[in-house]
Every structure is written in C-alpha cells, then in structure tokens.
C-alpha cells in the first residue's frame, strides 16, 4: 500500500526532486549522482535513503557499486506522467543537472570505447572466424518477429548489444551478467535509448547457473554467444526454462561443434560448440519444444541459432485437476 504522506514529504525537498528527475531519465550510481549534484556523498546518501523508503527509488548493489533506478511509485504509471509533463526550462539547477547528466553519459561512452580499443585485437580475431554479426542479428530478428517479444531476459548481456536491438519492442528488458565491468559497458548503451525505452531496462548482476529471478517471469530469454562459457550447459538451460513463461521463447545463439582449441585457452570457452542433439535433449527435458534452428556458415566456425517454446503443462491447462473426459452414465 502506498503511503501518500511519505511520498509527498520525500518530494518536498528540492534536492530530492532533482534526484527523482535525474533517475527518471537514467539509472545512475551513487558516485555519478554526487558528481552531478555537487554535494557530499553522506548528504546525497541521506536523500537517497528517504526516497528509497518512500518507494520512489530503488537501490541495487552491483559489486562495490550501488546503482539507483526508479522505484514502484515511478514505475506503476501514476507519478511518471507528471514528471514527463513538467517544464524545467526555467529551473536553473535542473538545467545544470541535465548538462552534467550528459557529461556522465559521455564518460560512460568513452569508458566503453577505451575498453574496446584495449581488446580490439582479441575481438577481431574471434569475429574473423565466423559469419558477420549483422547476419546473426538478422537471423534472431526473423525468429522473434513472428510474435510480440513481451518481457525479455538477456542472459550474459556483455556489452548490451541485445538491449540496442530489442529493448524498444519489449515490455520489460532485463540485462543480466556476472561481470560488473561488462554491466558498466552495457549501461553505457542506455544513453543511446529514448527515456521511455531506457526506463524499461534493468541492468542486473547475476549468475546464469542460479538466476536471481522468480519462475515464469519472461516471454523471451536470449543467450547470445554465452552458453559456451557454461561448465554445465544443461543446468543453465534448465534455469532459463524455469524463468520462462508458458509459451515463452528461448533463443540460444552459439557455435556448432568445432575443434578450435585456442578458444578454450585464449577466450576461456568451456565448450567448443554444441551439437543439435544436446540442445534438443536439454530443451525436451525442461518442457521446451525445439521449434526452429538455423545454421549460419561463413568462416571457420558455424553459428547456430536454436529457438524453443515452453510447453503448457497439463496441470497449468487444467489447474483444478478435473477429468474433462468424464462421462456419467445413468
């Protein structure tokens, strides 16, 4: 139940109102917020605590960083329209905040560019072994465009490329990775999205062996060149099936079986590709029907795309346990 008095008290302070407008536009770390507001961290943290307790903001720990995102009060659709309609052109403090927010976006972009520059040789050597990524992305699009994608989980989001491609069409988009460095790269992509689309995206730290998510949450789950890092891919697929809703789609993009041992030693791949039989069996074991698969040749490594759809269990179809074929004979 929403406590209106707490919300009004929280929003009565000018600094807290500035924080709300900023977080409504972009998920920020506490350090970034301190930088934008030009206030001490203890003071900013006190404001954050009040907004968190009122349900206006949420705090999420990611390694040693704490990030802030809109809370239930902002995401349930009641307060957000008021923020969107507010004219801030005459508010000098807000205008300064927006300039500094752009500086934060630019810093994130520069950080991502520096990372790729430092690892360019590694990425280029791997990409040269398989078909162009644009063809892989086109194949994913063709598969997903047959139905609305709904709520999406991108497992092992890495640099956040799937966010760029599909967040706009999603009702909600969760980008999960076990690397805080990769999540910072993915977060930089949010700066290129519209405010409405960025508001739908959650950046989350987590392990694909034990997803920190409840059952039946997502309409679409994507593994884009991630499963080869799994020591036990069958268990990872079982976790994906657990969080997938009935009739939801599971997309796995990875290499076909190969013998490029350097991918294990240099790039830390735990599996040298996957056979169709392994994927099909893992799907079937977890109630997912393998509905589509395609192979993309174009180099030393063939890229495969498997799509499965979660089946509706007999219990879900007939929750009361009734025998619908029962016939009473007098």
Same domain for 183 and 34: no
Q: What pLDDT is attached to residue 173?
A: 97
Contacts of residue 266, defined as CB under 8 A and 6 or more positions apart, other chains included, come to: 122
Would you call 37 helix, strand, or coil by DSSP?
helix
Evaluate whether residue 208 is within a structural domain.
yes
Are the CB atoms for 25 and 11 separated by under 8 Å? Answer: no
Contacts of residue 125, defined as CB under 8 A and 6 or more positions apart, other chains included, come to: none
Determine what percent of the chain falls in helix, strand and coil, rounding each to the nearest 5: 50, 20, 30
> For each of the chain's 330 residues, which pLDDT tens digit applies?
557 788 888 889 999 999 998 988 888 889 999 999 999 999 999 999 999 999 999 988 866 788 898 888 877 766 767 776 676 666 788 889 989 998 988 888 787 667 656 765 666 567 668 888 899 999 999 999 999 999 999 999 988 999 999 999 999 999 999 888 888 888 888 888 888 898 899 999 999 999 999 999 999 999 999 999 998 899 999 999 999 999 999 999 999 999 888 888 877 888 899 999 999 999 999 999 999 999 998 788 999 999 999 998 765 544 444 444 433 333
Q: What pLDDT is attached to residue 279?
A: 96
- How many domains in the chain? 2
Burial class (CB in 10 A: 0-12, 13-18, 19+), 75: middle
First to last CA, the chain: 54
Instruction: For residue 185, give its domain range.
Output: 122-316
Same domain for 298 and 189: yes
Q: What pLDDT is attached to residue 2?
A: 59
- CATH number where 283 lies: 3.40.50.150
Evaluate whether residue 325 is within a structural domain.
no
Evaluate whether residue 133 is within a structural domain.
yes
Q: What pLDDT is attached to residue 184?
A: 85
Full strand arrangement of the beta sheet holding 288-296: 201-205, 172-177, 151-155, 218-224, 244-255, 303-310, 288-296
Q: What pLDDT is attached to residue 85?
A: 67
Same domain for 288 and 225: yes
Same domain for 244 and 111: no
Q: What pLDDT is attached to residue 190?
A: 85
Same domain for 312 and 216: yes
Evaluate whether residue 127 is within a structural domain.
yes
pTM attached to this predicted model: 0.75
Same domain for 196 and 156: yes
DSSP letter for 121, please: H
Spatial separation of the C-alpha atoms in residues 303 and 273, rounded to whole Å:
9
């Amino acid at each position: 139940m929403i406590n209106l008095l707490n919300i009004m008290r929280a929003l009565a302070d000018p600094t807290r109102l500035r924080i709300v407008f900023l977080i409504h536009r972009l998920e920020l770390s506490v350090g970034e917020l301190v930088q934008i507001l030009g206030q001490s961290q203890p003071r900013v943290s006190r404001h954050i605590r009040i907004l968190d307790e009122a349900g206006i903001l949420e705090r999420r720990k990611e390694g040693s960083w704490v990030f802030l995102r809109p809370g239930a009060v902002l995401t349930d659709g009641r307060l957000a329209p008021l923020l969107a309609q507010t004219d801030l052109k005459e508010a000098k403090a807000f205008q300064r905040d927006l300039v500094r927010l752009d500086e934060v976006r630019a810093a994130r972009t520069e950080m991502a560019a520096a990372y790729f520059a430092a690892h360019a040789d590694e990425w280029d050597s791997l990409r040269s072994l398989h078909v162009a990524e644009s063809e892989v992305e086109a194949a994913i699009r063709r598969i997903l465009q047959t139905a609305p994608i709904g709520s999406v989980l991108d497992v092992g989001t890495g640099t956040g490329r799937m966010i760029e491609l599909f967040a706009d069409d999603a009702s909600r988009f969760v980008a999960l990775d076990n690397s805080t460095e990769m999540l910072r790269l993915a977060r930089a992509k949010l700066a290129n999205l519209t405010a409405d689309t960025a508001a739908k995206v959650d950046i989350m730290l987590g392990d694909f062996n034990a997803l920190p998510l409840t059952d039946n949450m997502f309409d679409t789950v994507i593994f884009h060149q991630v499963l080869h890092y799994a020591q036990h891919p069958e268990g990872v697929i079982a976790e994906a099936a657990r969080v997938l809703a009935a009739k939801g789609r599971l997309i796995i993009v990875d290499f076909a079986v190969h013998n490029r041992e350097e991918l294990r030693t240099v790039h830390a791949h735990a599996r040298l590709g996957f056979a169709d039989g392994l994927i099909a069996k893992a799907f079937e074991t977890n109630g997912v029907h393998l509905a589509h698969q395609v192979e993309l040749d174009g180099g030393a490594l063939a890229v495969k795309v498997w799509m499965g759809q979660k089946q509706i269990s007999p219990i879900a179809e007939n929750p009361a346990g009734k025998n619908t074929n029962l016939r009473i004979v007098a």
